[in-house]
Structure formats: C-alpha cells, structure tokens
Amino acid sequence: MRIVTWSGPRNLSTAMMYAFGNRPDFTVMDEPFYAAYLAATGSDHPMRDAILESQPIDPAEVARVCARDGDPHVYQKHMAHHMAAGMPLDWAEGAVHVHLIRHPARVIASYGEKRDEITENGIAFAAQATLYDRLGGIVIDTADLRDDPQAMLRALCAEIGLPWTDAMLSWPAGGHRADGVWAPHWYGAVHRSTGFAGPEGPLPDVDRGDLMAAALPFYGALRERRLIAAR
C-alpha cells in the first residue's frame, strides 16, 4: 500500500508521519518534493541551501521514487504547494490519498511563529483543494484527530483496509530517522512529543483577514467531506 498524504504547513502532518512511521510494516518519506519545489520556484525558505543539498531537485527523479510501492507499505508526507506548476503528478495515481486540514486561524497563527512572511500560496489551502479535486481521497480534520486520536486513526485504517495497531498512538521522542534536514527549524514541538497532543482551545485571533477570507471557503468545502469516526 502506498499512502500519499497532502496538507499545508502546520497541519499535524509530521505527527501523522510519526504515527505511521512507528508501525513495523511502514516506511515513511518526508516531503520528497521540497528541494525540487525550491529549485523550480526560487522560493526563499528557512534552511533553503541545506534543503537543496539534501534532496534531488529534478522533479522527474523524485516522481520515480514516489511512484514505487513500499515494502510492504510506504507513507508519503507531502505539502500541497510543493506541486507547483509543471510538477509531475502521474506518480500519485493509484495511491491512497489522505488530506489533512486544519482551521485557517490555527494554521496562520502557528505558521507565523516560524516565518515572518505568510502568503496564500504558503498556507496551501487552494493548492490542497485543487489536488483533492483531481485525486480525491479521505479528508481528516486535525481537530478531530486531536480530540480522539485512536478513534480517528482506527477509522482511517478501516477505511483503507489496513489492520489496526496501537503502535500508531505513540512514538519515541526526538524525531524520526526519515526527518528532512529542515526538521530543526519546524519540528521542535513534535520532537518533544511522544503522541498526539490533546484537544485545542479556542481559535486564536489573527490579524490577516485577507488570508482568512481566501482560505476559509476551501477549508469549509473539504471539512464537509471529512471522515467521521464512530464514538
């Protein structure tokens, strides 16, 4: 089985990768198109030079790797906006697609703690909606995941025909060997964790009404399609 997971930044995507990475029957891949995206767009991201040196920058080469099945299974974590114009997507056909979503206010607040520049493309709500329209898949609202990780992960496994294991509920602190070179900048909280954090509090106040207005329709449309776990 090849699971391809899409999200924007700050969507519990690394925690989800760790949940699958703690299964004995999965290998995991961390944002394999990151360097190719930076090379193609010229985007100035934290640790840009180190990222470009750590991964292939030829999209076709990355696509060939992503098209392979795992042994026995592989979980791929992808950022939706890394599929910039001209990036191949045929490699994704035939995979199980999972879309992680999070309320835009939480994404904007969390992303703002790591980067001064926040753009509509950078939080990737439109890009993710475009990928969902093309590829379909299963939508998980990370608020539901944090409210009841076991129920949501069990529901996901049942939906895709994967045997359940309690190994998905925890992982060792300190990161995963598959972490991208950018982990020191982005993964501090999840490196300190050993499982999913509990329910989130009230929505944060954000002063980017333009981003909220742009993102909310895409978030709302995907949320209507989200997986509901039996409680």
- Distance CA(160)–CA(145), nearest Å, equals 17
Domain 2-223, second-level architecture: 3-Layer(aba) Sandwich (3.40)
CB-CB contact of 76 with 211 (8 Å): no
- Distance CA(43)–CA(79), nearest Å, equals 14
Q: What is the pLDDT of residues 125-175, one digit of tens each?
A: 999 999 999 999 999 999 999 999 999 999 999 999 999 999 999 999 999
- Distance CA(175)–CA(168), nearest Å, equals 15
Q: What is the edge-to-edge ordering of all strands in the sheet holding 26-30? A: 26-30, 73-79, 2-7, 96-101, 138-141
Residues in the chain where the model's pLDDT stays below 50 = none
Sequence spans of domains, the chain? 2-223
Contacts of 62 (CB under 8 A, 6+ apart): 32, 33, 36, 55, 56
Global pTM reads: 0.95
Q: 37 by DSSP, 3-state: which?
A: helix
